[in-house]
Structure 1
Amino acid sequence: MAVITGGVARARARDVPSVLVTFDPHPAEVVRPGSHPAQLTTLSRKAELVEGLGIDVFCVLPFTPELSKVPADEFVHEFLVDRLHVAAVVVGQNFTFGHRALGNVELLTQLGQRFGFAAEGAKLVTVPNHGAADEITFSSTYIRACVNAGDVRAAAAALGRPHRLEGIVVRGDRRGHELGFPTANLSTPRYAAVPADGVYAGRFSLLNAANRPPLMAAISVGTNPTFSGRERRVEAFVLDVDEDFYGQRVAVDFADRLRDMERFDSSDALVERMHDDVRRTRELLS
């Protein structure tokens, strides 16, 4: 957000369009197949977010093995200068680019002097690490670690918004319906950053109904150990709504973690705990 808003401000000062350049798929997956990191946002969601920050053009470069071999100086000349005619470039101060990531902010500044554009490495955003001498640096790696640990509050603090999962509601085993807690079972994208197993308070949105406000939801992530489940699922029990969401594109925003995933001795014990989950969800989100 710091990089993007800095770029938008410089574009407006020069009266030129602001362009955000990103890659898809993630470069790591192309360079080292099987190493794709967990995805914090889908491309469509990313487009919505950057538009909200004032970006005029969202440019997605297909990352291919050929592109990964383009030297840093050649990338700047071909993509930034010849194609985009850049007036200024804003990146994070630890930014690297080009073949073997040999390009950095220093090289970008030198190339800017040669080709006539300004280059700036924005400072990394840090916050105090309570109880430790060092600071926490906000980064996608840090946020993925928070999500993976189930600390969705820390992830939201770094993101500036709740962590979101998107997906299509698909048919499950309808066990929640039998227990009086019908859930929307999300089929999420392949690399989606799914929080650690547990129960969360959050909000449920229909992506094809922009005018409908988000709904409170208790969200379960895990294998449903009470019934010896094996498939890891993301299921949302939407509060105060009796509606069939099958086949719809939805999003769940994680607000807080309620508890770990537990195995209960009986359905009655599980239902009692689910009532408590709903109560706490309502309290947290009201």
Structure 2
Amino acid sequence: MVHIWNDPTEVPEDFGPSVVTIGNFDGVHRGHQQVLSQLLRTAGQHGGRSVVVTFDPHPSQVHHPDSAPELIMGLQDKLDALADFGVDAVLVMKYNLALAAMTPEEFVSTVLLDGLHAAQVVVGHDLRFGVGNSGDVETMRTLGEKLGFGVQVVTEYGAGGFPVHDDGGTDRRCSSTWVREALAEGDVETAAAILGRPHRMRGEVVHGAARGRALGFPTANLDHGSTGYIPADGIYAGWLVDESGTRWPAAISVGSNPTFDGVSRQVEAHVIDRPNEAVEDFNLYGQTVVVEFTARLRGMVAYRGPEALVEQMRLDVVQAHKLLLDQ
């Protein structure tokens, strides 16, 4: 069981000693995973508890709300990914101007030492913390020597032999920015290679215009408050995971339904190959579901009418079935 805390005061007095890492961890991609792997190794070596300190909202949403990047994942999916990796605890610090004003030493003393009883700190080479991002790796090392904790720095965030390359065919540093670039192009395969798993969105299923149902392709429409980066418009093969944990193969549409002069972007998943006995009872309205993107089938196209659209949708379902199930 992973402990989740929202403030250092929630950490039990007898918790620790701990081995701590700090970061936003948006995406929990392969670069982050290298830091987390070192965190777990160090915790095992020192008999400590592994703890991730992360922030909500993302600092850029506080300091630069008009230009903050769209997040790859929501908080719940971040917590799930960290739990899947095997950490013992996550401290989710509420990021606000008061926290941003803490000096590096105040942050370390209050959060890492007084709160988490850190014996070791594992960080990436690009660490920045404290007021105005004034703290870096050397600051952390200096504070470690002064206050009595060890510091380990993970220096490589590269693809590390994984099949992830930039346009020039050379290894590129794994980063949240790279994931966003791939998703903005609809390249969910590259995004998955960087992340180490398929990209996902999470949201409540709401009523839509019911056009898909009228055309014979009912869809689960995600509400506009769903979390997770919305990939480029198009049709994708992927999976829908309902609240029971059942994974359903799906053809996923992202876009504004140009055939019907749609305006707002919508993410909707048509579940394929449902058992006959499940068709009538298959009602996802009000459920919070996860949609995973496996492959992009095509871009979004405006067809001349419903008949042409239906024919293309049939082809999309066949292609999605082949990619997801005929392996």
User: Aligned pair 1:195/2:231, yes or no?
Assistant: yes
Which residue in 1 is equivalent to 2:324?
A: 285
User: Aligned pair 1:218/2:251, yes or no?
Assistant: yes
CA contact (8 A) 2:203 2:226 kept: no
Q: Residue deviations 1:48-93, cap 9 Å, x none?
A: 2111111111110001111111111221122112211111111111
Q: Residue deviations 1:242-279, cap 9 Å, x none?
A: 22211111011000000000000111111111111101
Q: Match for 1:20 among 44, 52, 55?
A: 52
C-alpha separation in 2, matches of 1:220 and 1:129: 27
Which residue in 2 is equivalent to 1:269?
A: 308
TM-score (norm 1): 0.95
CA contact (8 A) 2:224 2:266 kept: no
Q: Which amino acid aligns with 1:168?
A: E
User: Aligned pair 1:61/2:97, yes or no?
Assistant: no
SS class of match (1:132): coil
Question: Is the alpha carbon distance of 1:125 and 1:239 closer, same or farther for their aligned partners in structure 2, counting shifts above 3 Å?
Answer: same
C-alpha separation in 1, matches of 2:298 and 2:65: 35
Which residue in 2 is equivalent to 1:33?
A: 65
C-alpha separation in 2, matches of 1:116 and 1:281: 56
SS class of match (2:252): strand
Identity %: 41
CA contact (8 A) 1:124 1:138 kept: no
**Pairwise CA distance, 1:37:** 2.0
**Pairwise CA distance, 1:129:** 3.6
The worse-fitting range, judged by mean Cα deviation, of 175-184 and 38-47 is: 38-47
Q: Residue deviations 1:218-247, cap 9 Å, x none?
A: 000000000001111001000022222111
Q: Match for 2:217 among 168, 181, 189?
A: 181
CA contact (8 A) 1:226 1:262 kept: yes
Q: Number of aligned pairs?
A: 283
C-alpha separation in 1, matches of 2:39 and 2:287: 36
C-alpha separation in 1, matches of 2:287 and 2:227: 20
Structure 1 unaligned spans of 5+: none
Which residue in 2 is equivalent to 1:99?
A: 131
Q: Residue deviations 1:35-54, cap 9 Å, x none?
A: 33212222222222111111
Structure 2 unaligned spans of 5+: 1-32
Question: Is the alpha carbon distance of 1:191 and 1:68 closer, same or farther for their aligned partners in structure 2, counting shifts above 3 Å?
Answer: farther
User: Aligned pair 1:227/2:266, yes or no?
Assistant: no
Report the aligned-residue RMSD: 1.5
CA contact (8 A) 1:156 1:162 kept: yes
The worse-fitting range, judged by mean Cα deviation, of 249-258 and 142-151 is: 142-151
